[in-house]
Amino acid sequence: MLWCYIIFIYIYFLKIELSQSFQLVQMSNKKYPEFISWFLNKPKTTGFITFLFLSYVVGFLVYQQYQLIKEDEQREMNSILQIVNQNLEQSLKNCYTTTLTLALTINDKGVPENFDYVGKKLIESNNNISAVQLVPNGVIKYIYPLKNNEAAINLNILAAPHLKGEALKSVASQKMYFAGPLKLKQGGMGIVGRFPVFQNNKFWGFSAVIIKFNTLLKSSGINTVDDSKYYFQFSKKNPVTKKEIFYLPNKSDFSKKYHISTTIPDGDWKLYLISKHPNYFYAQILIPGIIGLILAALFGILIYTLLKIPEELQSLVNIQATKLFNSEIKFEAIFDQAAVGIAHIDSFTGNFIEINNQYCKLLGYSQQEMKERSFQSITHPGDLKEDLMNLEKLRDGKIAAYSMEKRCYTKSGAIVWINLTVSPLFKKGKKVTTHISIVEDISLKKEAQKLIKKSETRFKSLFEDSPIPLWEEDFSKVKNYLQKLNLVNETPETVSLYLKMHPDVVHECIALVKIIDVNTMCLHLHKVRTKEELISGLSQIIDKDSIADFTKQLIAITQGKKQLIIDTKIKNKEGEYRNVNLRWNVIRGYEKTLDRIIVSTEDITDRKLSENIILKSQQRIESLINTIDGIVWECDAKTFSFNFISQKAEKILGYNAEEWLASKTFWADHIHPEDRKWTLDYCTLKTKENLNYDFEYRMVAKNGAVVWLRAIVNVISENGQAFSLRGIMIDITTTKEAEKDLNDSFNLVTEQNKRLLNFSYIVSHNLRSHTSNIASIMAIIESSESEEEKDEMIQLLKSVSNSLNETMIHLNEVINIRTNIGLVSESLNLQQYLETVQRVLSEQINSKDVSISTIMPDNVMVNYNPAYLESILYNIISNSIRYSHPERKPIIKIKWLMENDMNVLQISDNGIGIDLVKNADKIFGMYKTFSNNSDSKGIGLFITKNQIDAMGGNITVESEPNLGTTFKIYIQ
Amino acid sequence: MTKKTIWVIDDDPIYQIIINKIIQRSEMFSTITTFKNGKEAIDALHDTILYKLDNTEVLPDIILLDINMPIMDGWEFMEKMGLIKSKFSKQIIVYIVSSSIAAEDKNKSKTYSDILGYLSKPVTISDLVLIASDN
């Protein structure tokens, strides 16, 4: 770091030199006017412009050259063509003369005279002509020489389709016209010049000459022309098709070639002169053109290259300048913003020449203040001597640089520790006049060092004075050894197995553990006097019995664990075994190497002893609890969540302790549903009162059985607040059942007693009313004086005797019912019985117009005594009819329904009703009647009730006076 | 000594015939009126109050009252009569005459101030003479 700073300092002092040269480059740029420098700055453009300019010049020159050559050529060709043309025209003119002459042979009658003679002469005078003709009215009549030309005689040219057009043309223009070249009837190609002859302004016919085409050409001089350079072509537009037809050889298309032409109107011909070398002109100008272009391009590139050089130089300079500029900024930033203090110091006086902010800040002075000081004035006297000695050596060139830690005074007089690095500013060889000193605040480091030293001391004393035996051990060799054996990161099972198979490895490992230090407690534990006795090795401490525990440490190492806690045993020097809690901890920072391990071996022998005692007493209590014939338990006072339940729970309720404790609401959930609410409410209330309590309730066992329990609860409270409940649940199911049986039989007896009493009362009352009547009658008879009265009394006695008899029968009946004599139950169809009763009562039903509706499923079967069933139905339905309301139509409704698991036969009427407020206790009594009805005996309902009771059922009544009565018969 | 009027309230027709004989034999009462139940008797009392201003002649001096009767029993009759007795021009004395020998009924009769005695059936002439002469 510091060296970096020094390098920057050098750069800083070198920068001046560089920046000067940079400025020179900058100035050289300014000498040209702006217009030129524009070009100079754009070499590419300038090069290109040069190239364009030169190309243009070359192009111009070449073009001029081309024009000159072309003109020469044209001139030559024109003159050739001109000559040929003239020759041709001359030949044709001669022909004209010939035809004219021939025409003159025609006399006024239109007949030629001396044709053969004139013809002969004409042909002789004109070599070109091969034959002459006279064609009166378009029909060839005269030919000279006739020889070889016979074929043409009598040919009507105005009728022949290929001759007609041209012939008519010449008639129309009244001029001579040369037809052809065409194939002659006589053979070969020829031209026929036809001169239309008019006599008295009337077309007579033609005077014609035939010129052999070849002869014509020969006479034109075509053949004399230099055929290495040019050739001719002769063409005519077909008068019919308007297509141009060429007649000379070499008919290849010459439109691309250079050519000139002239037209011969006499035959509508076109004569072409064609240059044989089409690219001749281009060849003439191509090479100089190309050379010119190349030169232009080269020159353009040259200019570009020339201009490019200064620009490249310029950009190089710019890059360098930017770099320099950047480093300068960087340097300034580093110098000013550096986290270390940097100063430029006079090597002789020690004065500060330049100093950065950090340096000033370090000492609390301003830059100005620092510059007025020397380093000697701020250095602590204790360090000054060393500093000055070092500086002298530096000045003499004995050392290249030095570095030291020293103390400095700040402006406020405080001492700061700094790390000073001093180096000369200029290179070797030169004398040192200034140097650079870099200072770093190391007060914090010094402080930290102090703290480390302190904490080290503290650690040592903690280690030494710890009440727990501590070992500082080095397991690095063990780890290396295990690594070599490839045991690291194997599965614990593999390692364990390997170590079991190789006890020598374990012993080797024990030997490899290096004990660095032990504390005083270790000495006490192992009953040794000096640390050396323990430090010499683990092997003497580890007993056969504790090898297994050491193996656990080895496994932990292979698994990369940093901590291991095990209970193990050691044997001290006196041969006494001690239980220790061994904690094996890797010190942070040594996880990889295991150089430093702290092992604590707390002596837990006494603790183990007490633990054993506690365990034994717990076991004793548990076995005691389990012998109690009841469930011993403990639960939370607020939530009733159980935290202990004795084994008896399983025997009594079928649920074992695990099942019970698994759910927090197990107890509440398994209370009998009918007891749950009050049990929980009662427990909550009593617990709140902080009083011990006991109560009886039911729980539902695993097999669904209901178990009666007596709970005896002890409230355990702390600070008056109940926090826990303990107690015992005793199975009282058998007691409860016995109690219930007892209660049931007691109730039965009470009921029977009551009935008996009631019966005896009935008997005495009903019999007494008769006996008293008898007694009274007897008394009257005895004292009667008239026979008449006696007879009257005897009659009365008779009726009393009848009543008595009737009463006796009733009583007998009731007794029979009560004693269940001859009571046989059968499965009976209820519907059928209802019908039977209605049939018996049909007379009353009809006379009172009673409507009876029955709502019940078909085939309802009841297990009943047939006589009772009939009697019950008869009594109730006849009652309903008897006590029907006089003002309305009697309606009886019979329903079959279920109520609380009991079958109910409900019979309702809309009769007069009974005031139950007054008569509730009498309605089913004997001889209780409620109306003036003379046939009310007060026995029907009494018997009905007794019969229903005897069948194990019950009867209830609901009634409103004037509205109606409803009886409900409960059938088992 | 003027003869007294007596009402018998009982649902037993045989007893009615017998008591009529006995009352006649005793020659202690001027008129005998019988009722089948409490309701008939109380209706008669109502009628007496409604239609006769001077009811001394019609109202009975003594009532022989049965307990167990249909429609309105002896006890209810007593309740009803208690409500209207202030309108009577003279005191009416009631004797319970019942075949019941239950102590329960006997004790209950003592709670009514208008009930002077409890007679168990059969009623004899001497009983009636005693009743008549007592008042």
Calpha distance A138→A161 (Å, rounded): 13
A393 close to A402: Cβ distance less than 8 angstroms: yes
Closest residue on chain A to B124 (Cα): A776
Q: Does B17 touch chain A (CB under 8 A)?
A: yes
Contacts of A89 (CB under 8 A, 6+ apart): A264, A266
pLDDT recorded at residue A440: 86
**Distinct helix (H) and strand (E) counts, chain A:** 30, 31
Calpha distance A43→A30 (Å, rounded): 17
Calpha distance A126→A116 (Å, rounded): 15
Could you give the number of structural domains in chain A?
6
Calpha distance A571→A57 (Å, rounded): 118
* ipTM tops the 0.90 cut: no
Chain B residues touching A928 at Cβ < 8 A: 70
Is A455 inside any structural domain?
no
pLDDT recorded at residue A163: 72
pLDDT recorded at residue A635: 92
Q: Does B12 touch chain A (CB under 8 A)?
A: yes
> Does pLDDT of B8 surpass 90?
yes
Q: Would you report the helix, strand and coil content of chain B in percent, each value rounded to 5?
A: 45, 20, 35
Calpha distance A611→A601 (Å, rounded): 18
Closest residue on chain B to A783 (Cα): B25
Q: Would you report the helix, strand and coil content of chain A in percent, each value rounded to 5?
A: 50, 25, 25
Closest residue on chain A to B67 (Cα): A765
B81 close to B114: Cβ distance less than 8 angstroms: yes
State the alpha helices, DSSP H only, in A373-442: 375-378, 381-395
Calpha distance A892→A889 (Å, rounded): 10
A634 close to A726: Cβ distance less than 8 angstroms: yes
Q: Does A777 touch chain B (CB under 8 A)?
A: yes
Calpha distance A688→A638 (Å, rounded): 9
Calpha distance A285→A59 (Å, rounded): 10
Tokens for A902, please give them: 């009991």
Is A766 inside any structural domain?
no
B115-120 β-sheet, strand order: B29-35, B4-9, B62-65, B93-98, B115-120
Chain A residues touching B71 at Cβ < 8 A: 930-932
Residues A857 and A965 both lie in one domain: yes
State the alpha helices, DSSP H only, in A863-912: 866-882
Residues A473 and A557 both lie in one domain: yes
A204 close to A171: Cβ distance less than 8 angstroms: no
CATH number of the CATH domain containing A720: 3.30.450.20
Is A382 inside any structural domain?
yes
Residues A250 and A356 both lie in one domain: no
Cα angle for residues A530, A531, A532 (degrees, 5° grid):
90
Q: How far is B17 from chain A (nearest CA, A)?
A: 9
pLDDT recorded at residue A25: 44
Domain-ending residue, one of A382, A412, A446: A446
Q: Which of B125, B129, B126 is nearest to B21 (CA)?
A: B125
Is A182 inside any structural domain?
yes
Q: Which residues of A682-703 are buried (b: 16+ CB within 10 A; e: fewer)?
A: ebeebbeeeeebeeebbbbeee
Is A388 inside any structural domain?
yes
Q: Does A932 touch chain B (CB under 8 A)?
A: yes
Nearest to B12 among A761, A769, A783 (CB): A769
pLDDT recorded at residue A940: 79
pLDDT recorded at residue A80: 81
Is A91 inside any structural domain?
no
pLDDT recorded at residue B27: 85
Q: Work out the widest C-alpha separation in chain A, in whole angstroms.
A: 230
Residues A394 and A426 both lie in one domain: yes
Beta bridge partners of A967: A907, A957
Q: Work out the widest C-alpha separation in chain B, in whole angstroms.
A: 40
Chain A residues touching B23 at Cβ < 8 A: none
Residues A208 and A233 both lie in one domain: no
Is A890 inside any structural domain?
yes
Q: How far is B123 from chain A (nearest CA, A)?
A: 7
Testing the interface with A: which of B15, B68, B79, B80 to mutate, by most A Cβ within 10 A?
B68
CATH number of the CATH domain containing A850: 3.30.565.10
Size of chain A, expressed as the number of residues it contains: 972
B43 is in which domain, residue-wise?
Answer: 4-134
Residues A529 and A645 both lie in one domain: no
Calpha distance B109→B102 (Å, rounded): 11
Closest residue on chain B to A799 (Cα): B14
Residues A479 and A380 both lie in one domain: no
Could you give the number of structural domains in chain B?
1
Give the DSSP letter string of A283-299: HHHHHHHHHHHHHHHHH
Residues A473 and A525 both lie in one domain: yes
CB contact under 8 A, A932 and B68: no
pTM for this model (two decimals): 0.37
Q: Does A802 touch chain B (CB under 8 A)?
A: no
Residues A564 and A493 both lie in one domain: yes
Q: How far is A860 from chain B (nearest CA, A)?
A: 38
Residues A565 and A688 both lie in one domain: no
A546 phi-psi bin (left φ>0, alpha ψ -120 to 50, beta other): alpha
pLDDT recorded at residue A933: 60
The sign one gets for the Cα dihedral A386, A391, A392, A394 is positive
Q: Does B129 touch chain A (CB under 8 A)?
A: no
Closest residue on chain B to A760 (Cα): B102
Calpha distance B39→B11 (Å, rounded): 11
Question: Which residue's entry shows tokens 């020889």?
Answer: A147
A577-586 β-sheet, strand order: A514-518, A470-474, A597-603, A577-586, A563-571
Q: How far is B106 from chain A (nearest CA, A)?
A: 14
Q: Which of A781, A815, A819 is nearest to A797 (CA)?
A: A781
Domain-ending residue, one of A610, A643, A666: A610
Is A370 inside any structural domain?
yes
Q: How far is A789 from chain B (nearest CA, A)?
A: 10
A894 close to A855: Cβ distance less than 8 angstroms: yes
A670 close to A707: Cβ distance less than 8 angstroms: no
pLDDT recorded at residue A23: 47
A414 is in which domain, residue-wise?
Answer: 339-446
CATH number of the CATH domain containing B19: 3.40.50.2300
Chain B residues touching A780 at Cβ < 8 A: 18, 21-22, 25
CB contact under 8 A, B120 and A772: yes
Closest residue on chain A to B25 (Cα): A780
Residues A860 and A965 both lie in one domain: yes
What Rg do the C-alpha atoms of chain A give, in angstroms?
78
The average confidence (pLDDT) of chain B is 85
Contacts of A144 (CB under 8 A, 6+ apart): A115, A116, A119, A120, A123, A131, A132, A133
Residues A834 and A897 both lie in one domain: yes
Nearest to B70 among A765, A779, A929 (CB): A929
Testing the interface with B: which of A765, A923, A939 to mutate, by most B Cβ within 10 A?
A765
Taking 70 as the pLDDT cut, the residues of chain A under it are 1-33, 185-187, 225-227, 238-241, 250-251, 277-284, 426-430, 537, 820-822, 920-921, 926-937
Supply the DSSP symbol for A587: P
